[in-house]
Chains A and B, each alone.
Chain A
Amino acid sequence: MPRLSARDATLLLLLAALVALPLLLPSSFHLRVASLVWIQALAAVGLNLLMGLAGQVSLGHAGFFGIGAYAVALGPRHLGLDPLLAAVVGLVGAAGLALLVGRPILRLRGHYLAVATLGLGVLVWLVLNSEVELTGGPDGIQVPRLVLFGMRVAGAESWYWISGTALLLGVWLALNLEDSPLGRALRALHDSEVAARVAGIDVARAKLVVFVIAAAYAALAGSLLALFNRFVTPQVADFLHSIELVSMVVIGGLGSASGAIVGAAILTVLPQALTVFHEYEQAVLGLLIILFMIFLRQGIVPGLASLTWRRAAA
């Protein structure tokens, strides 16, 4: 029997988790948390393409997430768009913004790239937070119900399957991209931009394409989150959320799609679990982030993988 490729194994594992979880989870509250995990994971999988594959950091990714989220809130309200169409508009808008600013921003390296993407994210947040007439400001805004094939989507279970399917498709696309010529180009420029350029890779273009793709993932995740919660506040676009997304990718393991999902699961479930600590919640969250980064520096999935590999070799 031919061995499963890592790509197919990841997809099968995700599919199995997707099907098995509803049987294991006792209540619709748990299903809702699982849906949240799938949605955040979708954004993290996209960001992982940018950070893990291409080695470019973005500290403002929540900005794109926010554009997607507010598109489904504002499109129906101000333009009378169908929520689904509004999500598409948001996705195109976020990708367009990434295309517009991507080339000059991605020329920067290291900390300069970090501060430029950070600035971009904060600017999006500032607009969402300040244009009270348009966006409802810091208090947030209602989001209409999603209508799919003439049916109004409601209930934890429907959302579980919608978000799960979106994630599965997103992971499938991401894994295909990793194996494509673009994926190889990105891996090459991650190692050395000069060497990649010498090998004939259009470095600027490859970085721009993956930046746009990562922005589209984030925007779609944002739209899903807003439609799922039926409410959105500027917090979805703030600096802390950008950091959460980056942390998901790094905690799970840079460069690993399954790592991004594990990271998203941890950082989404953790705050729910930490509410038992009441006022200590924030302090405990900060402490856990530090501990994760110190003791699992490679990330959880690559860390575990190298551990089992070593055992198998011994």
Chain B
Amino acid sequence: MDQLLQFVFSGLTVGAVYALVALGFTLIYNASDVINFAQGEFVMLGGMVTVFAHAAGMPLPLAAGLAVAVAIATGLALHRFAIEPARGADAVTLIIITIGASILIRGLAQIAFDRQFHRFPAFSGEDPIALLGATVLPQSLWVLGGAAAIVAALRLFMDKTLLGKAVRATAANRLAARLVGIDTALVLAIAFGASGAIGALAGILITPITLTSVGVGTLLALKGFAAAMLGGIGNPVGAVAGGIALGLLESLAAGFVSSTYKDAVAFLLIIAVLFALPQGLFGRRAIERV
């Protein structure tokens, strides 16, 4: 029982990160129909920039702020220089562009940083807290709290601000949004920038636990994509639920079945779910008009 709880805690922690990556996917997909495989690189940038800025003597909060700024700038540049010029291209072409972008970002990061694994100290100490017979790292609470705060902030932004409503309108119908005077180019930029920020925050929160290196982005992007699809692509609630579910299952599988194949869980799960529900867990059935 204690063991189960332990796996649940670690699953929730990892799941929160998957949820944030999936949320980033969803944000960009809703605004532009682009599946952004460079999403994992935002997470990598968040961790790596913080590590190196902190090592250069910057206080941790400032270093983290710089990392978020770098990721936002990367997201904006990705949109401006890679996605925007290819407007109207088909889905596969756009996927290849974002994968090309992720190779480019990783390549540049390799030059700027190094290939080692890094971490920085946890935000509030490393002593595990005993909870219901299991233990939790204080940083895990930071991850969960941070993820919840990000999701809540995004929700508030979408529901309460004019700009957020513009983003939602654009997601619902781009042409209609433009007709009522919404600046869809601005909305796209916001989506890419916000995705970058969310990814970077996820990277900053998780690095003290899992460490980071230039290569962490690829697998995170694949799993985040799986999580987003699990919830039904384009559905923010589904993305968060998919991410948490994925993290929990992965952790339980690693604990009770095989830690070698913990990475397989995400992909087995997504294939199994799609076999049963071809539109994802929360996706709506698409009807083709002939």
Indicate the member of A107, A284, A288, A297 with the most B CB atoms within 10 Å: A297
B118-126, B189-197, B268-276 - the one binding chain A: B268-276
Given contacts A57-B92, A286-B105, A293-B100, contact A119 B271 (CB under 8 A): yes
B93 touches A283 (CB 8 A): no
Q: Which residues of B contact A114 (CB under 8 A)?
A: 35, 95
Distance in angstroms between the alpha carbons of A51 and B89 in the assembled complex: 16
Say whether A280 faces chain B, with CB atoms less than 8 Å apart: yes
Which residues A34-78 have CB closer than 8 A to chain B?
A: 51, 57, 59
Q: Is the CB of A239 within 8 A of B218?
A: yes
Q: Which residues in A have their C-beta under 8 angstroms from that of B105?
A: 286
- Give the interface SS of chain B, mostly helix, strand, loop or mixed: helix
B103: Cβ under 8 A from any A Cβ:
yes
Q: Considering the chains assembled together, what is the distance between the CA atoms of A281 and B226 in angstroms?
A: 29
Candidates B106, B222, B263, B279; contact of A112 at CB < 8 Å = B279
Q: What is the predominant secondary structure among interface residues of chain A facing chain B?
A: helix
Q: What residue of chain A has the Cβ atom nearest to residue B81's Cβ?
A: A290
Of B92, B111, B226, the most chain A CB neighbours within 10 A belong to B92
- Would B274 and A108 count as touching, CB distance under 8 A? yes
Q: Report yes or no: A290 in contact with B104, Cβ–Cβ below 8 A.
A: yes
For window 213-238 of chain A, which residues contact chain B by CB distance below 8 Å? none
Tally of A-B residue pairs with Cβ under 8 A?
131
B267 within 8 A of A: yes
Inter-chain contact B264/A289, CB cutoff 8 Å:
no
Chain A residues whose C-beta falls within 8 Å of the C-beta of B147 in the assembled complex = none
Q: Which residues of A contact B106 (CB under 8 A)?
A: 282, 286
Docked complex: B217-264 residues within 8 A CB-CB of A? 218, 222, 225-226, 229, 233, 260-261, 263-264
Contact B110 A115 (CB under 8 A): no
Give the CA-CA distance A51 to B91 in the complex, in Å: 12
What are 18 A-B contacts with C-beta separation under 8 Å? A104-B275, A105-B274, A112-B278, A114-B95, A115-B229, A118-B225, A119-B267, A122-B264, A192-B290, A194-B288, A239-B222, A283-B103, A285-B103, A288-B100, A290-B82, A293-B100, A294-B86, A297-B86
Which 4 A-B residue pairings sit nearest by Cβ, starting from the closest?
A286-B104, A283-B107, A282-B107, A289-B100
